[in-house]
Amino acid sequence: AQTVTQSQPEMSVQEAETVTLSCTYDTSENNYYLFWYKQPPSRQMILVIRQEAYKQQNATENRFSVNFQKAAKSFSLKISDSQLGDTAMYFCAFMKQQTGANNLFFGTGTRLTVIP
Amino acid sequence: KAGVTQTPRYLIKTRGQQVTLSCSPISGHRSVSWYQQTPGQGLQFLFEYFSETQRNKGNFPGRFSGRQFSNSRSEMNVSTLELGDSALYLCASSLDTVKNIQYFGAGTRLSVL
């Protein structure tokens, strides 16, 4: 079974500062995907960033980057130059790389508040 | 391109009733997955449909069922509603390619009284 753990229920950051959200996971799979999704108060789950486990290079998307440590099963999200619009719940998620296993396993989420 | 559309946005039902939720995926997406989100259990996978067939199923009782139509639209049904079924139900669609990115709708908020 796959499990995803987010140990920080809540975090806050000053506008324009940098914040890192933690995520660890447990799996016996060798090929998989990892995701960070953002859920603002509007409830719409929005993809922030995606990482393929076979790629050693950390994914980046503008102000968002990850630190993927496969051996440690760690997948943290760094948000640089935080903006008020980054205030949301952030979910770390895991998906097997396997046909017919197109489901996400989610962590419990981290509520991020960006303070003006 | 239009995103994933879920209807209705809100529903109020009473115990014992049944309910049907609808999801229209992004055009061209053939995979539709459903998730339940509650404060206590978090986000849990219900089932996935691909080409009108249920391809994958989570650990939910048989009261939860779904189907997919030939245009990839999907419906989810919950029969004999219980108070614990109150939740946000999210639908996600994907191209089902190697990228495997799921795009979510805004959800249906179901309240069971």
pLDDT of residue B98: 59
Contact A47 B106 (CB under 8 A): no
CA–CA distance, B80 with B91 (Å, rounded to integer):
21
Mean pLDDT calculated for residue range B15-30: 96
**A31 in reach of chain B (CB within 8 A):** no
Six-digit token pair at B16? 């014992």
Query: A30-34, B48-52, B89-93 — which one is most confidently predicted on average?
Result: B89-93
Cα(A66)–Cα(A21) distance, rounded to whole angstroms?
A: 9
In this predicted model, what pLDDT tens digit does every residue of A20-73 receive, in sequence order? 999 999 999 888 999 999 999 888 899 999 999 998 899 999 999 999 999 999
Say if strands A10-14 and A110-115 run parallel, antiparallel, or are unpaired: parallel
Tokens 């995520």, located at residue: A23
Residue B32 near residue B92 (C-beta atoms within 8 A):
yes
Tell me how far apart the alpha carbons of residues A88 and A111 are, in angstroms, rounded to a whole number: 6
The 8-class DSSP code of residue A16 comes to T
Asked whether the predicted pLDDT for residue B95 surpasses 70, the reply is yes
State the average pLDDT over residues B85-98.
88
Tell me whether residues A43 and B106 touch, CB distance under 8 A.
yes
Residues of A in contact with B99 (CB under 8 A): 50
Could you tell me if A7 and A21 are in contact, meaning their C-beta atoms sit under 8 angstroms apart? no
Residue B97: what pLDDT? Answer: 66
Candidates B89, B93, B113; CA nearest to B103 is B93
HEC assignment per residue over chain B: CCCCEEECCEEEECCCCCEEEEEECCCCCCEEEEEEEECCCEEEEEEEEECCEEEEECCCCCCEEEEECCCCCEEEEECCCCHHHCEEEEEEEECCCCCCCCEECCCEEEEEC
User: B56 and A101 in contact by Cβ < 8 A?
Assistant: yes
Q: Phi-psi bin for A89: left (phi > 0), alpha (psi -120 to 50), beta?
A: beta
Task: Judge: B42–A106 Cβ closer than 8 Å, yes or no.
Answer: yes
Contact present, A44 and A88 (Cβ < 8 Å): no
pLDDT in tens, B63-85: 999 999 999 999 999 999 999 99
